[in-house]
């Protein structure tokens, strides 16, 4: 399964161009779509899920055209939208059975399939719990189960870890990683940690354009020789911020332990070079963009 996006542009009715001349080749495996809010990620995901028509350009999934072969594409894909809303009074198992029925699955194999899915996402014990009584993480996992029920070849997930606590986020990433061994996953997120721990390839999208394509280690390597640790006084922070992007600050006695990225001059600071990670590189790449720190 390969996905090819050529010269994709999407302009909304009000005149906002959410995607402009985007070219991306998505190979097998787990693929990350990273970018700040408003970058155009959801727009791209909705086009891939055949829910939105491109203004121009071509998108093909497994050789099928998103504008012409919607039904065929839909039968091959599972989708977990950002706002995953379900019937709150249904029980988890009941909901999955309902989705399976909507997918035209006969009663015969349905029970087995629903139980398999509950097991796969770790919700077997919560099968009889009402949807409204599930935690955020459990609800997301139920979302994955419904997306996988008809055995898709491609799974598309949009900002799936927003609002999850750290433990659930790690568990959720692990689940995606397992699924990614079997089918193609496209994961859209503004949280760097979602990508670094799971994806083999990624693109960075910003203001509707692709800024970077490659693997997480290749991106991280771009911040080599530009990532530092240092100890400084609180009063020096504004000056340091003028020269570097501050990745993290941690109190150390009456001073601050800082992680910095950038090519700024040290101004008397003792900078200790450190190995960059994906977050360092992403922030450096985005020109010191203030990212939401969710990890
Ligand atoms: P992301 O998912 O990266 O946050 P979106 O694809 O949601 O980005 O949005 C990209 C741009 O398109 C934003 O400027 C957003 O305001 C605009 N946009 C998204 N949906 C619509 C819509 N239905 N109508 C008009 N503009 C939209």
Q: Is residue 137 scored above 50 in pLDDT?
A: yes
Distance CA 103, CA 113 (A): 12
Ligand 1 contact via 22 beta carbon (within 6 Å) = no
User: Which pLDDT belongs to residue 289?
Assistant: 54
Q: Which ligand 1 atom is nearest residue 205's CA?
A: 3
Taking residues 79-86, report their average pLDDT.
Answer: 87
* 8 A C-beta contact, residue 110 and residue 100: yes
User: Ligand 1 mean position to 46 CA, how many Å?
Assistant: 11
Average pLDDT estimate for 275-292: 81
**Ligand 1 contact via 14 beta carbon (within 6 Å):** yes
Ligand 1 site-directed mutation target among 13, 38, 51, most atoms within 8 Å of CB:
38
Q: What is the mean pLDDT of residues 72-98?
A: 92
pLDDT at 86: 82
Ligand 1 atom 23: residue of nearest CA: 12
Helical H runs in the chain? 41-48, 70-76, 92-102, 107-120, 136-148, 166-180, 192-196, 216-221, 237-243, 278-285
For the segment 264-283, what is each residue's pLDDT rounded down to a tens digit? 777 788 999 999 999 999 99
146 CB near ligand 1 (under 6 Å):
no
Q: Which two tokens stand for residue 236?
A: 């020096």
**Average pLDDT value for the chain:** 92
State the distance from the centre of ligand 1 to the C-alpha of 9, rounded, in angstroms.
Answer: 13
Is 46 a pocket residue for ligand 1 (Cβ < 6 Å)?
no
Contact indicator for 75, 150 with CB cutoff of 8 Å: yes
Q: Looking at ligand 1, which atom is closest to the CA of residue 14?
A: 25
The average pLDDT across 183-210 equals: 94
Does pLDDT of 229 surpass 90?
A: yes
Task: Please report the pLDDT score of residue 295 as a whole number.
Answer: 43
pLDDT of amino acid 292: 43
Paired sense of beta strands 56-61 and 3-11, if any: antiparallel
Percent of the chain with pLDDT over 90: 85
**Overall average pLDDT of the 237-256 stretch:** 92
pTM of the predicted protein model: 0.90
pLDDT computed for residue 288 by the predictor:
65
């Amino acid at each position: 399964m390969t996905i090819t996006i050529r010269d994709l542009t999407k302009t909304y009715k009000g005149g906002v161009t959410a995607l402009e001349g985007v070219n991306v080749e998505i190979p097998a495996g787990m693929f990350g779509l990273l970018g700040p809010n408003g970058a155009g990620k959801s727009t791209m995901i909705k086009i891939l899920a055949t829910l939105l028509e491109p203004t121009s350009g071509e998108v093909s999934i497994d050789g099928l055209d998103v504008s012409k072969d919607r039904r065929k594409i839909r039968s091959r894909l599972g989708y977990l939208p950002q706002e995953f809303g379900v019937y709150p009074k249904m029980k988890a198992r009941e909901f999955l059975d309902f989705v399976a029925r909507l997918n035209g699955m006969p009663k015969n194999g349905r029970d087995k399939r629903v139980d398999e899915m509950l097991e796969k996402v770790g919700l077997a014990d919560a099968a009889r719990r009402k949807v409204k009584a599930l935690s955020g993480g459990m609800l997301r996992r139920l979302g994955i189960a419904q997306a996988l029920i008809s055995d898709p070849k491609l799974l598309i997930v949009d900002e799936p870890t927003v609002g999850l606590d750290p433990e659930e986020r790690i568990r959720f990433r692990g689940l995606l990683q397992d699924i990614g061994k079997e089918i193609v996953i496209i994961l859209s997120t503004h949280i760097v940690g979602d990508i670094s721990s799971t994806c083999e390839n990624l693109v960075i999208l910003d203001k509707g354009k692709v800024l970077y394509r490659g693997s997480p280690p290749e991106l991280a390597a771009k911040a080599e020789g530009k990532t530092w640790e240092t100890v400084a006084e609180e009063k020096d922070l504004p000056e340091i911020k003028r020269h570097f992007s501050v990745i993290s600050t941690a109190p150390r006695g009456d001073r601050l332990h800082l992680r910095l990225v950038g090519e700024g001059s040290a101004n008397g600071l003792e900078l200790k070079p450190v190995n960059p990670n994906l977050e360092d590189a992403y922030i450096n790449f985005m020109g010191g963009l203030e990212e939401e720190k969710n990890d």
